[in-house]
Structure 1
C-alpha cells in the first residue's frame, strides 16, 4: 500500500463548484471508468492498496477526497451533507468528462452512492458496495461515534489524538493492519486540523435516517450488476447487514471475506482488488 505522501503526490487539486478537492486518476485513459468513494473519517488513501490492481486490469480509476476529508477543503462552521457530497461527485465527473462510470462505495461513501443512484441510475454502469450503513436501522456505531455525534462532540473533537483514533480503528478491524497504515489514516484526518470537523461530518447519520426510504429504494431498485465485498467481522456493519442483503437482494453477487472487519480494502487489499477487478471488467 502506497504511503500517504506518495499517494498525494500522484494526485492534483481540482476546483469543483467552488470547492477544492484532492483528485487522482490511475490506469489507462481509455479504460472503463470506475469511481471509488471512501468512508468516514479517513480519505481516498484507503484505496491505495486496491487501485494498482484495478489499473493493471485496464480500468480508469478515479478517486477523490470528499469535502471535509483528507486533502480536500475543510471549511470551518460548514453544514456538511450527503446531498452536497453527491453534488461534488457529479461535479468531479463533469470536470473530468466522465459520462458513465462504475461506482464502488465504502462506509460514508455508501450514503453518497445511494444518493447518486436515487438521482440518476443510468449514469452508474455497475455498483459495488463495501461495509457501510445501507440500512439505517442496522447501523451500530461505536460509542465514540455516538458521543461525537452528540452534544459533547465539539469538546471531544478537540481532544482527539492519534492514539485515540488508532484505538478506535483497531476495534473495527478484523485483521492486523501495520502501524504505518494507521498513522497515515491519522495524518489524513488531522491534515488542516480536520479532526475538529468530526461532529459536523457525522451529521450524515441524520441524513441517512431522513432519507431512509428513498435511499433504500435506490439500493434495492438498482437494475444494474451489483456486488457486495464485505467484511463480516465488522462490529458496525458486518455479518448482520449481510443477512438482510441476502434477503432483499438475492440476485446480487457477494464476496464475503472471512475474518475481515470494517475496512476490506485496507485489511485485505489483494482479495478486495481481485474481487472488484473481476466484477468491474
Structure 2
C-alpha cells in the first residue's frame, strides 16, 4: 500500500492542506472533494493512483478542514483560481489531470472551461455540467431533490443545524445517501463531524451554495448564463453513481455540445452519491483506465 503524506501548501490566495500519494515526479492528479466532505473522502483512492505512478493530491478546499477559511472568496471564479494556483505550484511545467466530486466537480468544470491550459484530462463524479444543471434544475423532480440548496440560502439556521451536537448531522446526511452503509463506518466519518462542529466551518461550506445561487440571479450572472459556457477542450469522463438521492440520471444526458471530445459516461449501479467513499475501488479503477487512456471508446447517452 502506498503511504499517504500530509502537505501544507502556501498559495498566493491562501494556505491549503492536502493529502498526497505517489512519486513526486509522477503526472499530477488533483482530486477535489464535495459537500459536506474533506480530502479524507479520497483516502482509499489516492494510494491506488499513487501505486500506478501518479502524484495524487487531494486538497481540503477553501474553508474546509486544514485549509484557510477566509471570510470571502467562495464564488466559483475564486474557487477555481485556488485550484489553478495549486496546479501551477505543484507542477509548473505541464497541465494536471483534475478529478472532482460534487462541488469539487463544479469547480473542475469551471477550471477546465476558463483555464484549459492547466487541465490535461478532466473526470467528474456525480456533478452535472453547469449548463445542463441550469437547463434541468427547474424540472419538478429535480427541484424536489434540490430542496436543500434553497434551505441553505436562509441566514444562520443552516449553519446552526450543521454544527450543533458536535456536527452529528453531517455523518447522518452522508450515511442516508449511501446504498451499502456497511461500506463506510461511523469512525470513518468522525473527521467530517469534527470539521462541521465549528460554526465558522459550516458557514464557509454553505457559502459555496449561497454565492452560487445568488450570483446566478444577478444581472452579471444571468448574462454569463445566457452568453453560454466555453466548450471544454480536455478529454472528459463522467462517473455517475446511479442511486444518487440529490441528482437525477437525466443530468448525464446531452453533454456533447459542451465538450470538444466525445464525453465518456460510466454508470455505477448500486452506488449512492458519495461514490469515492462508498465505492473507492470502482472509482479508482475507472479513473486509472481513463487517465492511462485505457477506457473503451464510448459516447454519452
TM-score range, shorter chain: 0.7 to 0.9
Cα root mean square deviation, aligned: 2.8
> 2 CA distance for matches of 1:114 and 1:70?
23
> 2 CA distance for matches of 1:183 and 1:258?
27
Alignment CA distance shift 1:68-1:49 (3 Å): same
Give, in angstroms, the shift of residue 208 of structure 1: 6.2
Aligned to 1:149: 153
Q: How does 1:54-93 map to 2 (within 5 A)?
A: 54-75=49-70, 77-93=71-87
> 1 CA distance for matches of 2:187 and 2:160?
23
Moved more, 259-268 or 194-203: 194-203
Aligned to 1:33: 28
1:131·1:238 contact (CA, 8 Å) conserved in 2?
A: no
Alignment CA distance shift 1:28-1:208 (3 Å): farther
Residues 183-202 of structure 1: per-residue CA shift (max 9 Å, x gap):
23222333684123343232
> 2 CA distance for matches of 1:189 and 1:208?
26
Tell me which of 209, 217, 225 is aligned to 2:229. Answer: 217
Moved more, 190-199 or 44-53: 190-199
Alignment CA distance shift 1:142-1:52 (3 Å): same
> 2 CA distance for matches of 1:146 and 1:167?
20
> 1 CA distance for matches of 2:8 and 2:199?
15
Give, in angstroms, the shift of residue 53 of structure 1: 0.7
Give, in angstroms, the shift of residue 26 of structure 1: 1.8
**Within the alignment, does 1:258 sit opposite 2:269 as a pair?**
yes
Give, in angstroms, the shift of residue 247 of structure 1: 9.0
1:148·1:198 contact (CA, 8 Å) conserved in 2?
A: no
1:238·1:262 contact (CA, 8 Å) conserved in 2?
A: no
Tell me which of 168, 173, 176 is aligned to 2:173. Answer: 168
For structure 1, the residue ranges without an aligned partner over 5 or more in a row are: none
Alignment CA distance shift 1:143-1:119 (3 Å): closer
> 2 CA distance for matches of 1:18 and 1:126?
25
For structure 2, the residue ranges without an aligned partner over 5 or more in a row are: 293-301
Aligned residues: 270
Tell me which of 259, 272, 278 is aligned to 2:283. Answer: 272
Give, in angstroms, the shift of residue 259 of structure 1: 1.0
Moved more, 24-33 or 259-268: 24-33
1:136·1:212 contact (CA, 8 Å) conserved in 2?
A: no
Aligned to 1:189: 196
1:34·1:103 contact (CA, 8 Å) conserved in 2?
A: yes
Describe the SS at the equivalent of 1:229: strand
2:113·2:233 contact (CA, 8 Å) conserved in 1?
A: no
Name the TM-score, length of structure 1 as normaliser: 0.84
> 2 CA distance for matches of 1:86 and 1:248?
18
**Within the alignment, does 1:230 sit opposite 2:240 as a pair?**
yes
